[in-house]
Structure 1
Amino acid sequence: MLPFTRFNRNIRTIRRYRTILGILIKYGFGQFVEQLNINYYLELGRKIVTLGTAPKGIERLGQPQRLRLAFEELGPTFIKLGQLLSTRPDLIPGDYLDELKKLQDKVPSVPTEQIRIEIESELGYPLAELFAHFDPEPVAAASVAQVHRGRLHNGEEVVFKIRRPGIVQVIETDLDILMGLAYLVEHHLPGGDIYDPVGLVKEFRRTIHRELDFTREARTIERFATNFKDDDSVHVPKVHWDFCGERVLTMEYISGIKVNDLERLRAEDYDLKLIADRGANSFLRQVLEFGFFHGDPHPGNIFILPGNTICMLDYGMVGRINQDLKEQLVDLLLAVLQRDVDRIISQLLYSGELTDESNLKALNRDLGEFIEDYYEIPLQDIKVGKLLADFVEILTHYRIRFPSDLMLLARALVAMEGLGRQLDPDFNMITHLRPFLERLVKERLTPTNLSREMLRVAQAYGSLARHLPRDIKEFINRVNRNKFKIDLEHRGLEKLITDLDKASNRLSFSLLIAALIIGSSLIMQTDKGPMIFGFPALGFLGYSVAGFLGLWLAIAILRSGRL
């Protein structure tokens, strides 16, 4: 049986299952639920789902809109899942991506008394001793955390990010359910295994666990501050570690202007072109220099401070580019900018994951057409966001999967270019990108880097040569001892096994009913034993049981819709 059955069958989990399935059906995803064959695993048949009242006019909405509304009603875990999926154009069609980006994470605020209890429990002191002032009115209230303003005893203005009480239990329950659903999607939906839903949920679990621990976010902010400590054009909020914990984050209050408030920026004489240039350079430094970038640079998270200084907020979502991934990214960008189709193909083969369905000849043709579309356009006129969107569309069509951090980077880069063009109509990301790429290519050819790369290759081959004899010997020994095994995994047979199980159970039931009828008929031919209405009681009882079981079987067959 699938791991789906390993989940705790407590009342809270079962109730949540019912809620999730009911909302999915309410918003028109009943066929999806039916395909998962979920009734077999929940053991309660169709009674497990309690249908709610569908919103008025829901039937006129498309599937992407209905999915967004369902996620919003399902709560914080699914809102966060939708936000993660909105960064994966390699998995989700464009119309779904656009809709999931609109997910609203706004909920009623938690009463101040509960917030006070959370802070005091986490930091270990009464609120009055910790802070000179705590504003009971929240600045923002989301499904995972709530933000309040305040002031420390030394007079510094701060903001507090407090985790909502009980949210961890809610998310853990939902994560267990999502993992169960992912197993079912992988085994029951046609082509479900191509998208690796189990792997996606595991990635989501890791991401949301990081977001729930505010000490991680505090360390992230500190890392950004260290990276930009010598750059006056970027300001990173100060973290007050004495007032931080897993459930509470206290940092400097930022009073600035949102980057998309162009009228106010112009009225206060800010240099919009300089802001666009600084924003692009700071982001490219994050990616190509530090390998650690802000994953959600939307306008609400970017403030402009006096002196045209860039300040980013909300470091819960970050991306990481290790050295190998950075090298692959640079090679891929250079190949695209140089319009080298063969080099792009080789990078895709090395960097991505070409599935069995991929057709290299067709891929080569489509990439050639993609390059031709941009060939006549001067580099300074190319929109990186549009180029990336078209490129990712090709990858998606051929089921080419890339690391999630690269997909997050693509989304963030599109967002940064869009902001740059709002600030400066002549803004061009290629102008800022080219010097970084040229510098990185030159750094590769320095004697230090060449020697380091040669040493790494030599160590890798040395390790291979050192372990190869032992591995060969172990392989031969296993074969000689008949211990060599090949594990084969079947896919798509679970539904067949389930249907065969149901069919055999019904057949056994039918044979039992037939035996009761035949046995009762034989008893009816005798006049022995106690009598009821002039008939042998045992025969009468046999007929009654057979009739009840027959009626039960008939109802079950009719309710299944498979007469």
Structure 2
Amino acid sequence: MFIRKIGVIGRTYRHLNRYRQILAILFKYGFGDLVDTLKIEQYLEIGLQMISRKRREQVEKLTRAERVRIALEELGPTFVKLGQILSTRPDLIPVEFIQELSKLQDHVHSFPYAEVKQIIESELGASLGDVFQRFDQTPLAAASLGQVHRAQLADGEEVVVKVQRPGIHKTIEVDLEIMLHLASLMERHLKGWDLHRPTKIVEEFAHTLERELDYNIEASHIERFAKQFMGDQTIYVPKVYRDTTTTRVLTMEYVGGIKASEIDQLQLASLDQKEIAHRGADLILKQIFDYGFFHADPHPGNIFILPNNVICYLDFGMMGRIDRQTREDFADLVMNIVSRDEGKVADALLKLTLWEDEPDRSTLERELGEFMDLHFYRPLKELELGKLLRQLLDMASKHRLRVPPDLFLMLKALSTVESLGSSLDPDFDITTHAAPSIRRIQRERLHPRRVAADMFDTGAEIVSLVKEIPRELRDILKQVRQGKVKLEFEHRGLEPMLTTHARISNRIAFAIVLASLVIGSSLIALADIPPKWYGIPVIGLAGFLLAGVMGFWLLISILRRGKM
């Protein structure tokens, strides 16, 4: 993982310019209150004074959610990606923010063909002409992490080549380190946010981005996906060309089709919209319940429809994984909701989520009952299953039940496919499609062979645990004898005092340097050292000017804090 915590040197030299850009955009869109609450000025004392706090006049007409979206788009690719991830997390942000963040778009320009050529030749170790018969200089599409060009291999195969944007790794690395610092400030200064563990969210986000930046991983995703659906005539998975794929270059088969969102084009091609909707639902359910490995971003732009209503997924950078136990617990959750059993729904929620202190069971069951009364007594075709399940998990998060990120990705994928299916077929009902898969999972769990295997695994774990107990006890006693057992104490309230002390020390050091500069410049002026300007030594004059700027800067810093 390329994220690391920001130290004093990084904050002063490596990140200062980017930090200033971020803060300027936050002020521009009316988030100065957040900057003040997080006490960022304590960490960026030098340089913050030069940032304008004036917000744009147009901002007054926008909602806070709209301002967040526009600010993230202006902050660049790393923040856009973060916003897109947060749009799948109703446990973290309100619904109006989720709706707005789902509109996030990459506003990026394509990078020059010369850089594309240089990256490909550097990665493949051969000239572009040796690898490709034809390479279109104009990209088919440009995104925040890379862009896609159509080409033809030396053997005549039509392909698309995804090339990573130059310098993007370094940009993301700096942004992630700043994000981690901001997340730590949120935990410290924003009431209630420590429960959401924003630093953990940033670390998970960094891991996701790191994998997206390695095109070899995406190639492996495509190959695994193709293996899952080998022999399935309802889906087509593009071929990957490994010989021309590296960490920064991905070459895959060119597939011509119609985007699933282009309803008019589907009708002109005489494709069956109802069949496409049903196949799309069956495919996502197979990915989740049969394989536990699914396309986490199946929006219409990433789905092409081929002749005979065949579905083709594109862009395998973001994939989700659900283990067998989670699939079974999720199946229990849905079936217990359908049977309207609050107690069993609560049991399933507690199995699906992570928690430190078990919530008030009676309150949880009462709220679950009210939720089901509100939503699940309507006809099935009126239910938006993915959306309702996300709302249910949002409610669970209010009881301090933490939902694993992949579970939210799964629900987002379900919601996206459900929305697409409804646009293709007004009578589409994903609940009816999901029921057989859920019932099959429950039957398989009770199969004698499965029960026997589970009992054997449990027995093996017990035997292993019993064997480990003597060794663990021996290690504990050994540490006690060696005096290695430690007690940790936390002195709360010490941090503000340390921060104030650090600020005072910085000002004293700054003042000493300033005084030294004045004294040194005076000695140089008295020594009459050439070169001179109007009889005054130039070096001495430059020292006086620099001292004046530094002194003015220090004075502004003190006045802004209201203390002399």
Q: Distance in 1 between matches of 2:466 and 2:380?
A: 47
Which residue identity does 2:25 align to in structure 1? I
CA spacing shift, 1:53–1:105, aligned 2, 3 Å: farther
C-alpha contact (below 8 Å) 1:7/1:176 kept by paired residues: no
TM-score by length of structure 1 reads: 0.86
CA contact (8 A) 2:258 2:304 kept: yes
Match of 1:514 in 2: none
Structure 1 residues 352-394: Cα deviation after superposition (integer angstroms, max 9, x where no partner): 1346595433222111111222453344543213422431331
Return the alpha-carbon distance in structure 1 between the equivalents of residues 225 and 504 of structure 2: 61
1:439 Cα deviation from its structure 2 partner: 1.1
| Letter in structure 2 aligned against 1:142 | A
1:243-392 maps to which residues of 2 (within 5 A)? 243-354=244-355, 358-392=359-393
Residue aligning to 1:16: 18
Alignment check: 8 A CA contact 1:71 1:78 kept: yes
Is the 8 Å Cα contact of residues 4 and 181 (structure 1) preserved in structure 2?
A: no
Secondary structure, counterpart of 1:138 in structure 2 = coil
Aligned to 1:535: none
| Contact 1:39-1:45 at 8 Å conserved across structures | no
The separation in 2 between residues aligned to 1:251 and 1:400, in whole angstroms, is 41
Q: How does 1:150-161 map to 2 (within 5 A)?
A: 150-161=151-162
- Between the aligned partners of 2:349 and 2:296, the Cα distance in structure 1 is 23
- TM-superposed CA distance for 1:109, in Å, is 1.0
1:289-348 C-alpha deviation (Å, 9 max, x unpaired): 111100111110111100110111111111011222222222222222222211121222
Matched AA of 1:109: S
Q: Are 2:5 and 2:177, in contact at CA under 8 Å, matched by a contact in 1?
A: no
**Does 2:189 match 1:193?**
no
Aligned to 1:511: none
After TM superposition, give the deviation of residue 107 of structure 1 in Å. 0.9
Where does the alignment leave 5 or more consecutive residues of structure 1 unmatched? 508-550
| 1:90-130 CA-partner distances (Å, limit 9, x unpaired) | 11111111111111113111111111111111111111111
Contact 1:234–1:309, Cα closer than 8 Å, also in 2: yes
- Deviation string, structure 1 residues 193-216 (Cα, Å, up to 9, x no partner): 111111011101100011111111
Bigger CA radius of gyration: 1
Q: Quickly say closer, same or farther: Cα 1:554–1:356, change in 2 above 3 A.
A: farther
Structure 1 partner of 2:40: 38
What CA distance in whole angstroms lies between the structure 1 residues aligned with 2:187 and 2:287? 36
Any residues of structure 2 matched to 1:168-183 within 5 Å, and which?
Answer: 168-183=169-184
Deviation at 1:54, TM superposition (A): 4.7
- The residue that corresponds to 2:94 in the other structure is 93
Q: Secondary structure of 1:132's match? A: strand
Mean Cα deviation higher: 37-46 or 211-220: 37-46
- Separation (CA, whole Å) in 1 of partners of 2:95 and 2:479: 50
1:53 is displaced (CA, Å) by 7.2
Unaligned runs of 5+ in 2: 509-551
Q: Following superposition of structure 1 onto structure 2, how do residues 144-543 of structure 1 map, counting pairs within 5 Å?
A: 144-354=145-355, 358-479=359-480, 483-489=484-490, 494-495=495-496, 497-499=498-500
Shift of 1:434: 0.8
Change (3 A) 1:97 1:432: same
* 1:495 shift after superposition: 3.1
**How far off its partner does 1:152 sit?**
1.6
**When the two structures are aligned, how many residues end up with a matched partner?**
521
- How far apart are 1:562 and its partner, in Å? 6.3
Stretch of structure 1 that moved more, 274-283 or 371-380: 371-380
The letter of the residue matching 1:425 is: P
In the alignment, residue 33 of structure 1 is paired with which amino acid?
V
The answer as to whether partners of 1:90 and 1:407 remain within 8 angstroms in 2 is no
Which is worse superposed, 327-336 or 114-123? 327-336
1:133–1:151: 8 Å Cα contact kept in structure 2? yes
Distance 1:184 1:94 in 2: 24
Question: Do the aligned partners of residues 390 and 84 (structure 1) sit closer, same or farther apart at CA in structure 2, a change above 3 Å counting?
Answer: closer
Q: Check the 8 A contact 2:148/2:161 in 1, yes or no.
A: yes
1:27 and 1:560 map into 2 onto residues whose CA distance is 23
Instruction: Give the corresponding residue for 2:83.
Output: 82
Report if the CA contact (8 A) 1:68-1:100 is conserved.
Answer: yes
**For the residues of structure 2 that align with 1:422 and 1:490, how far apart are their CA atoms?**
58
TM-score (normalised: structure 2):
0.86
Structure 1 pair 30/308, CA: closer, same or farther in 2 (3 Å)?
Answer: same
For the Cα contact (< 8 Å) 2:135–2:152, is it kept in 1? yes
Partner of 2:142: 141
Identify the residue that residue 26 of structure 1 maps to in structure 2.
28
> Could you list the per-position Cα deviations for residues 118-147 of structure 1 after superposition, in whole angstroms to 9, with x for gaps in the alignment?
111111111111111111111111121011
Distance (whole Å) between structure 1 residues aligned to residue 194 and residue 557 of structure 2: 32
Contact 2:295 2:318 in 1 (8 A): yes
Are the counterparts in 1 of residues 266 and 273 from structure 2 also a CA contact under 8 Å? yes
Q: For residues 439 and 248 of structure 1, do their structure 2 counterparts lie closer, same or farther at Cα, with a shift above 3 Å needed?
A: same
Superposition RMSD on alpha carbons, in Å? Answer: 2.8
Letter in 2 for 1:335: N
Asked if the contact 2:42/2:503 (under 8 Å) is kept, the reply is: no
The amino acid of 1:189's aligned partner reads L
| Amino-acid identity (%) | 46
Are the structure 2 counterparts of residues 280 and 293 from structure 1 closer, same or farther at C-alpha, using a change threshold of 3 Å? Answer: same
